[in-house]
Amino acid sequence: MTGEPPLALYIHWPFCRSKCPYCDFNSHVRDRIDAGRWERALLDALDHAAGQMPGRRLGSLFFGGGTPSLMAPETVARLIARAKTHWPADPDLEITLEANPTSAEAARFQAFAEAGVNRLSLGVQALREEALRFLGREHDVREALRALEWARKTFPRISFDLIYGRQEQTPADWRAELGQALALAADHLSLYQLTIEAGTAFFQQQRQGALPLPGEPAMVAFYETTQAMLEDAGMPAYEISNHARAGAQCRHNLTYWRGGEYIGIGPGAHGRHGGRRPDEARTTTRDIRLPERWLEAVERQGHGCEAVEGLERNAWLAELTMMGLRLREGLSRNTFRRQTGLEIEAAFPCEALASLITGDFLVLDAAGLRATPRGRQRLNAVLERLLSAA
């Protein structure tokens, strides 16, 4: 077992103080939460998941949400300890917690570090007051700066998020804000283009014509500015939206993008098992999405999983491709062969692959298949072309 890639474990805390207008994650606002009941349910669900995948190593643990920094640090500590009783942990086990920069949450950073968290992902989202109000954030710029300062003093590794392509934002505005972010950054930044997702408040505003956003030329300029400035600062994109100094990439998310195995527990969490070899069955798991229903299910049957489905070969190939081409490193030839039993050239239609290579969207060589800078900027179209004929 020791030679196998380690597992990644994701624990979802579904609650937030408020719902941001751009957010389509499985997050919910509740007046009251029975914290003890939720802790017991998460521990029970973790025990059940461990029984499904025994004898493996644990490489990363990620507390996501929602806002997991609203959890009690003692709960986080007990979940970490329980996970380590089920799976031997890598010596450099990465334990990430997502947090908001409000003063109330930042005051608990030390307690989270003592619980075992060694990487903090901070949802800053903007360094401009008007942008924070537009995005529905509860913190202001002063709180964000203070939280970043506390985080740097407390955790070995930190990352923070920013969103660009906001209302009335110009490329010059973004360049200035990004320069400020680089001055504050430690070793990792996540920089996302604002996308309007169905079911969000922004989606309704856009349908009503009440949400004018920058046009396509500005969006291209935002992206190109981001790539150039981060490259110059020694934090190149290792994934479409994620930038890091050498060795500081998020190992947990790399497991997703490289087609690795991960366990997901909590409302709406997903998991993926198997696929280490071409002949090994691949399954996906999905937990019940609504928090109250998930909680009741765990208390009734010991887990909140509502679906376990086999992943057919074509779906597995598509998933590997969609995730892998998000990475600068692309699809490793050796890993792809181990996971699918195929050479890259045999997995995709010759005509589609050749046209994307000729058009400077993809590169195919001895290392594998990867998107060029031009291809990463248009990745959705590249994937549609590559996979539609597969």
Span 190-233, pLDDT tens digits: 999 999 999 999 999 999 999 999 999 999 999 999 999 999 99
What's the DSSP call for residue 68? G
In a domain, 303, yes or no: no
In a domain, 315, yes or no: no
Q: Looking at 50-59, 121-130, 175-184, 241-250, which range is the least confident one? A: 50-59
User: Are 52 and 194 in a shared domain?
Assistant: yes
Name the residue among 333, 317, 319 with its Cα closest to residue 366: 333
Which SS3 state, helix, strand or coil, does residue 130 take?
A: helix
Span 144-153, pLDDT tens digits: 999 999 999 9
Vertex 124 angle, CA 127 and 81, to 5°? 160
Residue 2 has pLDDT above 60, yes or no: no
In a domain, 284, yes or no: no
Residue 1 has pLDDT above 50, yes or no: no
User: Are 339 and 247 in a shared domain?
Assistant: no
User: Are 60 and 189 in a shared domain?
Assistant: yes
Residue that finishes a domain, picked among 211, 226, 256:
256
Residue 390 has pLDDT above 80, yes or no: no
What's the DSSP call for residue 69? G
In a domain, 145, yes or no: yes
Span 339-353, pLDDT tens digits: 999 999 999 999 999
Give 308's Cβ-side CA count (13 Å radius).
11
* Residue 3: predicted pLDDT: 66
Percent of the chain topping pLDDT 70:
98
User: Are 68 and 189 in a shared domain?
Assistant: yes
Beta-carbon contacts of residue 300 (< 8 Å; ≥ 6 apart): none
User: Are 348 and 224 in a shared domain?
Assistant: no
User: Are 339 and 218 in a shared domain?
Assistant: no
Identify whether the C-beta of residue 385 lies closer than 8 Å to the C-beta of residue 355. Answer: yes
Residue 278 has pLDDT above 80, yes or no: no
Residue that finishes a domain, picked among 218, 234, 256:
256
User: Are 129 and 215 in a shared domain?
Assistant: yes
Span 372-383, pLDDT tens digits: 999 999 999 999
List the CATH number of the domain containing 188: 3.20.20.70
Backbone φ and ψ of 199, nearest 5°? 90, -5
Q: Quote the domain boundaries for residue 154.
A: 7-256
Q: Total structural domains in the chain? A: 2
